[in-house]
Amino acid sequence: MKTSRKAKRIRRHYGRMKKPGGLNLVSLMDIFTILVFFLMVNSSDVKVMQNTADVPLPKSTAQQEAVESLTVQITGNAILVQGSEVARLEGIEIGDTYITGLSEELSWRRSRWSEIPEEGLDVTIMAGRDTDYRLLRKVMQTCVDEQYRQVRLAVDREVRNG
């Protein structure tokens, strides 16, 4: 029996849909190549510390590179550890030698270490250039009391011309 042209066309059409699909690796390889170049260009040795606009850092001509460590930030009205608020400045008394909320947070973070180095743990303090020295001294003393003895102050690098 002879089939009509329409029947052949329908059979051919449905036959195409039964074939397994293929995987095109060219597009995938292009994406990975671009990704590799992007990662190579953007991987550098520059350490960038998270800073907010309300903490104007003092200027410095120091050539030493920044070290990644625990960050204590003193803003206009609060003390932050790694971005989360641990103490309000209004709650700090003048006669206090340490800051309770900061001490508790540093103690909790220290307890997660299996072994504490003899020279102490690292901490970087980010405080604005107009921060009261007495407050800065209390923050530093609290850090030292909680075995964060490698205290660093964050600064903006001043670019020298010439």
3-state helix, strand, coil in the chain (%, to 5): 35, 15, 45
Quick one: pLDDT at residue 92?
80
Quick one: pLDDT at residue 63?
64
Quick one: pLDDT at residue 83?
84
Q: Is 12 strand, coil or helix?
A: helix
pTM of the predicted model over 0.75: no
- The string of pLDDT tens digits covering residues 122-147 is 888 888 878 888 888 898 899 898 88
What Å distances lie between residue 6 and 3, 11, 12, 18, CA to CA? 8, 9, 10, 19
Quick one: pLDDT at residue 15?
78
- The string of pLDDT tens digits covering residues 44-102 is 655 555 555 566 666 666 666 666 788 888 888 888 888 888 888 888 877 777 788 88
Q: Please name which of 134, 66, 141, 128 lies closest in space to residue 102, comparing C-alpha atoms.
A: 141
